[in-house]
Structure 1
């Protein structure tokens, strides 16, 4: 998949395109439904399938005080978009100047001149242009004026029976609340946090449960405090290596028993004390939340609970 950081970098020999736009934060099933429409039309017509996304998130530029933390990092987002079958992605640097483009100026700059789009696929709730004043109806009108077709896929994953919609907002809510199973349903895969393994207090090792502690600048939205069952993946190893993906009991929080104040993510790989992971970048995937973080009156009580957590994790991941 081609990656461009400016529309001017898109080569003319790419030819006409089927294109879409969005933040694609998390690249969840709602996004994938739109992208599937893009790639299907592109393959049928022999055109290139391209997406336009933004970095940083527009809210981080326009209203930094209420900018949401990204569900996944940019590199992970691009990997997921490539897996979805796109031929190229333009990562536009979002600036205040860029935000001042009228809907028509945005469309002409992006789809008419930049990508030479024959078809633009847009989500039913997408917004673009100055003050987010452009919507699907605006895009249809501009398509008629500038000679491209507009496709608006039907809604998918709407809220029903207490299940959240397939949206980045609903996904973020589920993760923040620790509902990682619900997050996985929206994503179509397990939610993960990625980061370098760094030295911690080594209390887990002293208790017989050595943990991999992720650095504070890890990528990915960290779930609610608590204990989780999940997996530790080592992307630096070959895909068929037996230690590539390992079952893990995961702790998120501040460790109230020891009155730690720094929030952390740490993963104990079941039945392994021989792993040397310091300095390695790993992915921690969340399967199910087992319990809240608790404060124990003694180290012995903590160890008994940790043993139960490990047993429950082993049974769940079996």
Structure 2
């Protein structure tokens, strides 16, 4: 899949194109069906398939005080979009100037003129142009006038509407299993491994700690069964993932850390590597214990439960 970071990077001879557009945050199963349908429509019409997504999220520009948490960073989003077989993705920088285009400027000047669009598939609730004044009817009228075929994307997922909002809500409640059902894959958080306070090592459960600027929506506080991968290493490691502030030790900084099950940490140096954590299931919430011994006993139980979950 070709990735264009601005419209000027698209070669003049790339098109004509079949286009869809959206935030595609999470690239859930609904998104995947839309993108795969775009591929089929493009091939039937001998067009190149191109999906346009936005960075940052439009709401972060228009209403930064209530911008949604990003489910997947752009890099991971593009990886998942590529799996659908589309020819290209345009990561359009979303600005107020871009949003100020009239509906006609956007359809005729941008989609048709700049992207070479001859076919577009959109949802019935599509809005575009200045103050969202363009809608499906506007698009169909402009398409008929300028040779752009418009197809409406119906709800997908056996009648159940997938949405990034629903995925985000599941993660915020810690229900990573439901999130995985909507995503079609386990939700992932990715970042650099940094030094912690080594308390886990003291208790016999050493952990790899994610940097605070890790990418991807962090699920609710608690203990999770998961899988860990490290940049440059081929193996996938079963992991007990902890999210929270370590209230037993009066912690205040929210952390994401992973204990790799049945891995000997002596000589296993992953500091500075990129770690990707995939969340399989949540086994409990965050609890404040009366002391270290009670916490160690609980951690032993957690690891056994997680080992069984991952074995299944």
Q: Which residue of 1 aligns with 2:200?
A: 204
Q: Shift of the alpha carbon at 1:264?
A: 0.8
Q: Shift of the alpha carbon at 1:125?
A: 3.0
Offset from partner CA, 1:257-301 (integer Å, 9 cap, x none): 111100011010101133211101011010111001000001110
Q: Which residue of 2 aligns with 1:263?
A: 254
Q: When the two structures are aligned, how many residues end up with a matched partner?
A: 309
Q: Secondary structure at the match of 1:267?
A: strand
Checking the alignment, whether the CA contact within 8 Å between 1:37 and 1:153 is kept in structure 2 is: no
Matched, 1:195 2:188: no
Q: Shift of the alpha carbon at 1:79?
A: 1.2
Q: Which residue of 2 aligns with 1:104?
A: 104
Q: Which residue of 2 aligns with 1:250?
A: 241
Cα distance in 2 for partners of 1:65, 1:21 equals 24
Cα distance in 1 for partners of 2:23, 2:237 equals 31
| Gap runs ≥5 in structure 1 | none
Q: Secondary structure at the match of 2:13?
A: helix
Cα distance in 2 for partners of 1:124, 1:175 equals 27
Match of 2:269 among 263, 273, 276: 276
Q: Which residue of 1 aligns with 2:222?
A: 226
| Gap runs ≥5 in structure 2 | none
Cα distance in 1 for partners of 2:104, 2:8 equals 18
Offset from partner CA, 1:145-195 (integer Å, 9 cap, x none): 2111111122023786xxxx4101111111111110110011011001000
Matched, 1:298 2:291: yes
Cα distance in 1 for partners of 2:84, 2:295 equals 44
Checking the alignment, whether the CA contact within 8 Å between 1:251 and 1:267 is kept in structure 2 is: yes
Checking the alignment, whether the CA contact within 8 Å between 2:231 and 2:273 is kept in structure 1 is: no
Cα distance in 2 for partners of 1:123, 1:188 equals 21
Cα distance in 2 for partners of 1:247, 1:126 equals 42
Q: Secondary structure at the match of 2:113?
A: helix
Matched, 1:314 2:307: yes
TM-score (norm 2): 0.95
TM-score (norm 1): 0.94
Cα distance in 2 for partners of 1:311, 1:92 equals 46
Offset from partner CA, 1:124-154 (integer Å, 9 cap, x none): 3332222223233322222112111111122
Matched, 1:21 2:21: yes
Checking the alignment, whether the CA contact within 8 Å between 2:24 and 2:53 is kept in structure 1 is: yes
Cα distance in 2 for partners of 1:132, 1:107 equals 13
Offset from partner CA, 1:19-69 (integer Å, 9 cap, x none): 111111111111111111110111222211101111111111111111112
Cα distance in 2 for partners of 1:134, 1:30 equals 23
Kindly report which structure 2 residues correspond to 1:108-123, keeping only aligned pairs within 5 A, or say none.
Answer: 108-123=108-123
Cα distance in 2 for partners of 1:69, 1:180 equals 15
Matched, 1:168 2:172: no
Runs of at least 4 residues off by over 6 Å:
none
Q: Which residue of 1 aligns with 2:282?
A: 289
